[in-house]
Structure 1
Amino acid sequence: MTDKNYSDDSADSDPECFNNNATWNGNNLLTQSRQKIPTRRVSLSNLHNRMNQTKIDPFFEPKVLRKNNSITKTESIGSLAKESKVLVIYTGGTIGMVKNANGVYEPCPGALGKSLKAYPQLHDQSYFRKYFGLPESDELLVLPDTGEKTRVVYTVFEYDPLLDSSNMTIDDWVLIAQNIKREYHRFNGFVILHGTDTMAYTASALSFMLENLGKTVVITGSQIPLFEARSDGKENLLNSLIIAGNYCIPEVTILFNNKLFRGNRTSKISASNLDAFDSPNMSPLVNIGIKINVDWNNVYRVSTIAKVNVHSKLNRNVTLLRIFPSITVETIRAFLQSPIQGVVLQTYGSGNAPSNRKDILNEFREATKRGVIIVNITQCANGKVDAAYETGNALIEAGVIPGSDMTPEACLAKLSYILSKDEWSIETKREMVRTNLRGEMTVIREQKVEDLSLVQAIANTLKVSTSDEIDKLRSALYPAIVCAISARGDINSLVQLKKSGIDLCASDYDMRTPLHIAVNHDKLDVVKYLLSEGANVHAKDKNGETPLHLAIKNNNYEIVNILIETGALLDMPKNRIGDYVTNAAANGKIRLVKTLNLAGATLEEKDSFGRQCIHAASEKNQPEIVDYLVNVVKVNRNRKDPYERTPRDIAKYFRHKEVLEILDACDENQASLKER
């Protein structure tokens, strides 16, 4: 088979498993009359060249992400306030498998994405036809109305070849993380479809690799393929899309059986039950019942002002060592030998190991001196390492680091991540192991103070007494209080509210967060404080506006700059950006033009009438803006407007001498450069 040239916008032909012999029966089951589902083969050398990767694991099988350009077609359609865009990345796993003629489940390239339109709970055909006007064959999908704030518009990208999660490698984690980063500006949230066997490992690894994450990443799958009548995949996928599209939970999470868990606190607990995953030392972030209940106080938020980044290097030289009675010192020594640099040590109970085994303790001590990092976690499913016992304290004296209540999957991933940080000293790496980096371990929080007297007074006045009623009152009043204080710029009061356990990121009745309010009132210091406390720059109000949109409207260059530093994106249709920049250029607002450029606008976007800002600036005699566009931004000054006029044609027609001089000088400079 010849190599296939995959491109971001290419639409692949139907996979072979969707041939003329593939049919749907009344129960939406895909039946196959052929004897074997063919597997697509691609050239390894071609994939190596495209991905430009250096393998970490020699058993990694190179693959590419098969994409479509459906989402780009929606950029000028619909309202940002009404729709949220989610990318589904299918890596492989049970959820997308089909039965072959022998009754065995096998992966079928392209089958999952093609089939989703057949499920009314996963695709609203009438909405699709009404608002998008795309061909029925288009790979864009939209969820039906679920009672949430926005409609979720989504599409499926798929790896080729598909991967059985038992064959997952570090390189696959790197690939997934890089693909998320590559599509980060285009989508509001991400859903990763994954096999269940190594799902917890992948979630843990991605949680560390995706640094400064500001959007929701949900990993899910199923125990029964989506094509089967009893599949848990439909509900898992539906709930994942709702969460990723409507709830700003900036973590890598796992969704299974109506619960959303923090990914690095989760383990697979059952090979056959639908309730296959659990987070033994932390309650779920979200419980999905008749209503979707989010535990916002437990959502992990980044406290650094920085853009999302992928740390694409992990250290393979880590291992897992489980203590058992009469374990030999030779076994211990073998686990600690080079090239091993990190060991997850699973001990009894609260972190205990035999204190009378001086030989074992000495091996740990010597390994620590050589720079091997050993982390102690419990063998028990629930609980944490505690140094209160003599046997546990003996390990600490030997240089072993207590790992609190980390899962084995999280601890391995954390060690792999930390050990790959070549710029850190061994002392820094040991300190980072003790530090809660992504919510992977329980830390003691500051004692929560009593409710605000105002809330209690209102509760008494309204005769509210039950805990449920008071909780509802809190959820209604606290966001309004925080927003009002943010508008005043009172940082000291915000600090006190934070100490009281109040969520500084909660939105009010208009879906405005305190960050929206602080930006709108030009409170730079409050903006900085809220960002340092994990305020999300991607949150949208009921009008679909992010804090960045408000900062641009206010022409506040300083606030735009700090929002961009934190990863804010100019998330709006190109023609709307074009309207902003052409209007600013026409009215001589040079600072706003520069602000928009800083925010990510190329300044070559077309407005609703097909003009670019250089056309508007040339027509309205704005020489300063024209000079900035052609000499700083280097826009194409020969582009024609809908009337076939270049900027120079426009300036000449309106006799704008200064604008003409700038454009002519630019032409002369270019001509002299060519002569050289």
Structure 2
Amino acid sequence: MCKMIQYSIHSIKYSGWYLFGFVAKFYSKEPEGCKHDMHADFVYGAFVIRCVFVDNIFTDFSSVFAVLSPEPYALVETLRKLPILHDEQYAQQTRLYEYYKPPENTLVLSLSKQNKRIVYTVLEYSPLLDSCNMTTDDWATIGKDIEKHYEQYDGFVILHGTDTMAYTASALSFMCENLGKPVVLTGSQVPIYEMRNDGRDNLLGALLIAGQFVIPEVCLYFHHKLYRGNRVTKVDAGSFNAFTSPNLPPLANAEVDIKINWDTVWRANTTSKFTVNTQMNRNVGLLRLFPGITADTVRAFLQPPMDGIVLETYGSGNAPDNRADLLDEIRKATQRGVIMINCTQCLRGSVTTSYATGQALSDAGLVAGCDMTPEAALSKLSYVLAKQNLSIEEKKKMLSRNLRGEMIADLGGAKLSLSDSRFIQVIAKSLSISCKEELEAIRDALTPTLVCVASKIGDIDALDAIREMGTDLSMADYDGRTPLHIAACEGHLKVVEYLLGKGATVYARDRFGDTPLRNAVRFRHKEVVKLLRKTGAHFSREEMEDTGTELCSLAASGDLEGLEIWQLAGGFECNK
């Protein structure tokens, strides 16, 4: 029961938060009774947890000052009345409510431009809390629910109050380790119940992105833009354009088309399964320097049990170098084990040691925060300090590394753009193309085919060369097949291992609804199946619907090899 929050008669602002999940499925034919969109893909089984954390909302009715409070279990009924967020006719024609449990919490969107439907289910947390009252325990609750339902859904959406949304997005980005599916936070400045609001667009955009695109990050969607969650900060309390990502362009823009900047998407680059680390150190804080700050203030702030500090400094990471008393207090704290991160107070820019005033803090033992937001730096510090198995120096090194795309990094590692390659240039010349947009269109059309061919023949050197030109190795061809699909079909174990190590997703589906795991099972490549399962690949509930018949057929024919493959892939677990 997700709820954006209903206030008896007059609601002036949305600020609840909920969790949505999605399960994707492709139907080769429509469910019985459905007569339209016969060739649609289906992203459904969406899981929604209503964990409403409401910001304080005040309004004035005829000079009577009132405090508005949320009404529980009201959002689903409101969404059912909004055609852009629920297609009741389709739900009735396909008997959708008979398939999804509980039916009273299940809704379905109309067919999208990508020829998919998103069915989402809403689950509500209780009690409803103010988003300003968020703690690490609440973050852990969200993370554990994502982990609990991770294999059932293709994506998750959290509706959250805007006041602390950036903190939650940053915290979840570190807590969710080896994430392979989208987690999208969103909310609104004006509630969905108002005639003029931003809640409908924000919710719809978050659902469409989480349900259709495999973006393995914790993100924040607001005002038609998708941001990396640990890169955002709230900059406006009274505008629909409330959030910005100062040092990183949006991951996606929802314009006439939803345009994903795949080159910017962060990937785990690992063969480890998804886990949620809920251990966060609470003994951390933010200290903002200001002219005239006293040594006593700094000393008091740095006293035990404080374990870590994000020090917000001037400009590019500067502090007064003529204040020996301040530097002495900072140095004493770092010497007794307090870890401090140097972050700039500026909205944009990065911390450097170009000035003597910045070098003084580095000499005192501070870790440079580069271009991290204070929200991200605080969450990262809390996450790293909770790792009891690491020494102080190891924790500092970990804080200096780019863990989730939270700080400046060369994501693509590209020395040369594929657009600059001789091959692309020759094709562009033959087609009389000169403008950048058309050149990029050629690149986007040809690159998936090139990487899929290299994957088919097992040419890791070619894949590596293409990747170094800035190519995303999860790009899909015209049939939605990624290089990992091809390698899984061919049984190229080394290629599969290489692709997974470079961030290829095991959750991508082609136009037939097949994942790389399904391909590996079909062509009976045991070692590939084992590796994909180790990485976290799994069958969804929908993929397993027809496996009973297939398993019975294999058993009847005495096909032990086929049964063994299904067992390795987890097929028996879903048919217990």
Give the alignment's TM-score, normalised by structure 2: 0.90
Match of 2:498 among 529, 553, 558: 529
Deviation digits for residues 413-465 of structure 1, max 9, x if unmatched? 00000000111121111100000000000124645314222211111111111
* Structure 1 runs (4+) greater than 4 angstroms displaced: 29-33, 65-72, 76-81, 93-104
| Number of equivalenced pairs | 550
Match of 2:416 among 446, 449, 470: 449
Match of 1:466 among 430, 435, 446: 435
Q: Distance in 2 between matches of 1:129 and 1:96?
A: 38
Deviation digits for residues 608-634 of structure 1, max 9, x if unmatched? xxxxxxxxxxxxxxxxxxxxxxxxxxx
The alignment status of 1:92 with 2:58, answered yes or no, reads no
Q: Distance in 1 between matches of 2:518 and 2:39?
A: 12
Structure 1 segment 136-175 matched on structure 2, within 5 A: 138-175=104-141
Q: Are the counterparts in 1 of residues 484 and 504 from structure 2 also a CA contact under 8 Å?
A: yes
| Paired position in structure 2 for 1:589 | 559
1:187, CA displacement in angstroms?
0.9
Structure 1 segment 172-571 matched on structure 2, within 5 A: 172-444=138-410, 446-450=413-417, 451-571=420-540
Distance 1:473 1:67, change over 3 A: closer
1:98, CA displacement in angstroms?
12
Q: Distance in 2 between matches of 1:507 and 1:439?
A: 23
Deviation digits for residues 551-582 of structure 1, max 9, x if unmatched? 11011111111111111111253431212322
The alignment status of 1:602 with 2:565, answered yes or no, reads no
1:592, CA displacement in angstroms?
2.5
Q: Distance in 1 between matches of 2:40 and 2:540?
A: 11
**3-state DSSP class of the match of 1:160?**
coil
| Paired position in structure 2 for 1:616 | none
Distance 1:392 1:98, change over 3 A: closer
Q: Are the counterparts in 1 of residues 22 and 155 from structure 2 also a CA contact under 8 Å?
A: no
Q: Are the counterparts in 1 of residues 24 and 211 from structure 2 also a CA contact under 8 Å?
A: no
Match of 1:115 among 78, 82, 103: 78
| Paired position in structure 2 for 1:40 | none
1:108, CA displacement in angstroms?
1.1
1:370, CA displacement in angstroms?
1.1
**3-state DSSP class of the match of 1:107?**
coil
Which of 1 and 2 has higher RCO (CA within 8 Å, sep 6+)? 2
Q: Distance in 1 between matches of 2:47 and 2:241?
A: 25
Deviation digits for residues 133-174 of structure 1, max 9, x if unmatched? 537963211111221242111011111111210111100000
Q: Distance in 2 between matches of 1:95 and 1:71?
A: 33
Structure 1 segment 1-16 matched on structure 2, within 5 A: none
The alignment status of 1:130 with 2:130, answered yes or no, reads no
Report % sequence identity.
Answer: 46
Give the alignment's TM-score, normalised by structure 1: 0.77
Letter matched to residue 555 of structure 2: A
1:66, CA displacement in angstroms?
11
Q: Distance in 2 between matches of 1:604 and 1:326?
A: 64
Q: Distance in 2 between matches of 1:133 and 1:377?
A: 51
Letter matched to residue 87 of structure 2: D
Q: Distance in 2 between matches of 1:548 and 1:341?
A: 44
The root-mean-square deviation of aligned C-alpha atoms, in Å, is 2.9
1:601, CA displacement in angstroms?
2.2
| Paired position in structure 2 for 1:22 | none
Q: Distance in 1 between matches of 2:48 and 2:97?
A: 20
Q: Are the counterparts in 1 of residues 57 and 67 from structure 2 also a CA contact under 8 Å?
A: no
Q: Distance in 1 between matches of 2:354 and 2:136?
A: 36
Deviation digits for residues 94-138 of structure 1, max 9, x if unmatched? 699999997643211110122211000001112111223537963
Gaps of 5+ in 2: 11-17, 32-37
Q: Are the counterparts in 2 of residues 95 and 233 from structure 1 also a CA contact under 8 Å?
A: no
Q: Distance in 1 between matches of 2:21 and 2:465?
A: 49
Distance 1:603 1:594, change over 3 A: farther
Deviation digits for residues 298-353 of structure 1, max 9, x if unmatched? 00000111111010110000011111112111111112111111100000000000
Distance 1:66 1:210, change over 3 A: closer
1:214, CA displacement in angstroms?
0.5
Distance 1:93 1:121, change over 3 A: farther
